[in-house]
């Protein structure tokens, strides 16, 4: 008995990698946005200041579209909003030395001992279920699209 | 103490104070002249375990270890002690019941000034109210 439809199956299988990539890329964008919003919510602001680390938090995607970096995504932002590190990781208190970007000048500042807020870790933990659900749904959608 | 989340934190404090070779502090209570290394409870976050079941809570406890030794060794030693004390353990609480504790994250990083090392530990605990 002749078996037919082999070409259609092969064509469908060839389409899968691209379909999966498209679906997962979209899901990852939504997931990264969820984590970003949570990070912004968890990042306190200083009412006496006009610049807030919260406003500098962004999402940057690598060229593949399948890797997202959430937070202070460039070296310049990390330098400009250096105190985000103190909020996220906490401080021991006392004198802190730091270098001004683009110069060799080293400054010092006094910081109080502050508990770490674990902003990045908590943002991931609080959204882990939703991120997994989005990616699972994207994979299921990709399989459905590939069958058509 | 009728809040299981507070009871869990108290149980963590008791267990870690007995097991660790360093002092354990709650957030905001670190003394100015604290002796290194020390461990701080930073954030304790509780959520319902799922949308339907209000009898179980997932509690995540975020802790930091601070060390003045210029490499990771001391921080890792304390983290290892925390892991041995809490991972896959069931602590006795004064309110509610601890179903299981799991250490879900361990990391170490140098301080921005390069003088200290800190380590982060996250413990996930499931409690019955």
ipTM metric: 0.88
- CB contact set of B97 (below 8 Å; sequence gap of 6+): B4, B127, B128
pLDDT of A127 higher than 70: yes
Token pair, residue A7, equals 């070409």
- d(CA B48, CA B55) in angstroms, rounded, equals 8
- Pairwise CA distance, residues B27 & B45, whole Å: 13
Residues A41, A52: contact at Cβ < 8 Å? no
Edge-to-edge strand order for the sheet containing B117-128? B23-26, B38-48, B56-67, B117-128, B97-110
Output the pLDDT for position A73: 95
Is B122 a residue whose pLDDT tops 70? yes
Contact B47, B124 (CB under 8 A): no
Token pair 């899901």 is found at A27
A63 pLDDT more than 70? yes
Cα–Cα distance, A35 to A37 (Å, whole number): 5
A90–B64 C-beta distance less than 8 A: yes
pLDDT digits (tens, 9 = 90+) for A45-58: 988 888 899 999 99
Contact B62 A113 (CB under 8 A): no
Q: CB–CB of B66/B14 below 8 Å?
A: no
Q: Is B122 within 8 Å of A121 when comparing Cβ atoms?
A: yes
Task: Return d(Cα A59, Cα A80) in angstroms, integer.
Answer: 17
Question: Considering only CB atoms, which chain A residues are within 8 Å of B47?
Answer: 126
Question: Closest Cα to residue A139, out of A62, A33, A31?
Answer: A31
Q: Is B128 on the interface with A (CB under 8 A)?
A: no
Q: Parallel, antiparallel, or unpaired for β A68-71 and A58-61?
A: antiparallel
Round the average pLDDT of chain A to a whole number and report it. 89
């Amino acid at each position: 008995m002749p078996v037919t439809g082999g070409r259609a199956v092969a064509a469908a299988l060839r389409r899968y990698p691209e379909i999966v990539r498209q679906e997962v890329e979209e899901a990852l964008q939504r997931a990264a946005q969820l984590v970003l919003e949570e990070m912004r919510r968890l990042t306190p602001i200083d009412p006496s200041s006009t610049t807030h680390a919260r406003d500098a938090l962004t999402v940057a995607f690598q060229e593949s579209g399948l890797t997202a970096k959430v937070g202070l995504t460039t070296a310049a932002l990390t330098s400009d909003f250096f105190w985000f590190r103190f909020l996220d990781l906490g401080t021991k208190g006392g004198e802190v030395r730091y270098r001004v970007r683009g110069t060799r000048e080293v400054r010092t500042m006094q910081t109080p001992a502050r508990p770490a807020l674990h902003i990045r870790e908590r943002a991931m933990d609080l959204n882990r279920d939703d991120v997994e659900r989005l990616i699972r749904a994207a994979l299921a959608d990709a399989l459905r699209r590939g069958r058509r | 103490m009728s809040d299981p989340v507070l009871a869990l934190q108290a149980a963590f404090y008791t267990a870690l104070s007995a097991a660790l070779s360093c002092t354990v502090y709650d957030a905001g209570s670190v003394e100015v002249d604290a002796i290194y290394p020390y461990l701080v409870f930073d954030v304790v976050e509780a959520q319902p375990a799922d949308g339907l079941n209000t009898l179980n809570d997932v509690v995540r406890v975020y802790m930091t270890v601070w060390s003045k030794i210029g490499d990771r060794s001391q921080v890792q030693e304390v983290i290892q002690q925390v892991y041995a004390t809490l991972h896959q353990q069931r602590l006795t609480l004064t309110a509610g019941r601890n179903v299981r504790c799991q250490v879900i994250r361990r990391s170490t990083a140098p301080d921005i000034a390069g003088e200290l090392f800190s380590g982060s530990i996250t413990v996930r605990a499931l409690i019955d109210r």
